[in-house]
A = this chain, B = another copy of it.
Amino acid sequence: MALITETYLRAQLIKGLANPFPVTEGDKLTPAAADFLKERGIPLLRVAPVPSGPSSMQFIPVGVSNRHVHLAPDHIEALFGKGYKLTPLRELSQKGQFAARETVTLKGPHGSLSNVRILGPSRGVTQVEISRTDGFELGVHPPIRLSGDLAGTPGITLVGTVGTVVLSQGLIIAKNHVHASPDEAQSMRLNHGDHILLQAMGERPLIFADVIVRVSPKYSLDFHIDRDEANAAHVSTGDTVQIIHKNAEGRLR
């Protein structure tokens, strides 16, 4: 329950005002606040209250992932040569992760994509993450999966500077998710495994209706989406999305 004033809404304008504007049972708008929204053609969206109580606004920064590859150590050697080590180009938002200077070409049944970034360090299993748009280019249509969930996924061919790796599986479209450290999760009253609704607040008001929260000391607060999702929501890395609803895992309220 909150009193929503025009002053409050004007302050939100800097971050981007949610459209429609989410309100929970018992929220009150001042007449000036109601006019403020009405003038901008912004309707109200009644949502169930966030379990933690007051409808405090909670924002999560967006991290947009372009197509990329995680490589197993033996695949690094197969693509770039015996004993080869990846060269970090820049750090990523998740601690210890980096974009490598090295890239590969992906070859699919219908086409190929060159300069596909490798992310380091190496992993146990090679995994290739593309967008659905990329899939049409390559001629292969992988399922939406969380990282590491590779059973039954299609393969793809990777071409490096000295060799080629033909994967029999490991190609996915990444399922969007929120990363948070335990401290960040606690301060936002989020738990590992929560399903939340996130609203983009730009020119294209889009609600991501089933986003899984993953909490680990390795993580930093970030909403991971791919280029298709970023373009559909007209957001870029560093923009924020707003939590408009939370559900405990598997629990119906």
A109 interface contact, C-beta 8 A:
no
**Cα A54 to Cα B92 with chains together (Å):** 49
Known interface pairs A203-B144, A206-B207; A44-B252 also in contact (CB < 8 Å)? yes
- A-B CB contact pairs (8 Å), 9 listed: A19-B209, A38-B251, A43-B251, A46-B46, A143-B203, A206-B208, A206-B209, A206-B232, A232-B233
Contact status of A131 and B231, CB under 8 A, knowing A19-B210, A207-B209: yes
Residues of B within 8 A of A6 (CB): none
Q: Which B residue's beta carbon lies closest to that of A199? A: B209
> For A208, what are the chain B residues with a Cβ–Cβ distance below 8 Å?
205-206
A249 — nearest CB in chain B belongs to which residue? B41
Number of chain copies forming the complex: 2
For residue A132, CB closer than 8 A to chain B, the reply is yes
**What CA separation (Å) do A89 and B205 show in the bound complex?**
35
Per CB-CB distance, the 9 closest pairs between chain A and chain B, nearest first, are A232-B232, A207-B207, A132-B231, A228-B231, A43-B247, A205-B209, A46-B48, A229-B232, A144-B203
B-binding residues in A (CB < 8 A): 19-20, 29, 34, 37-38, 41, 43-48, 131-133, 143-144, 176, 195, 197, 199, 203-210, 227-229, 231-234, 245, 247, 249-253
Give the residues in chain B near A231, CB-CB below 8 Å: 131-133, 228, 232
Taking a contact as CB atoms closer than 8 A, the residue among B19, B204, B227, B247 that contacts A133 in the complex is B227
Min distance, Cβ A89 to any Cβ of chain B, angstroms: 20
Q: Is the CB of B38 within 8 A of A252?
A: yes
Inter-subunit contact A197/B45 (CB<8 Å): yes
Assembly CA distance A20 to B232 (angstroms): 20
Q: B210 to A20, Cβ gap below 8 A?
A: yes
With contacts A38-B250, A131-B231, A143-B203 known, is A245 near B209, CB below 8 A? Answer: no
Q: Which of A38, A204, A205, A209 has the most CB of B within 10 A?
A: A209
Among B43, B48, B176, B209, contact of A252 (Cβ-Cβ < 8 Å): B43
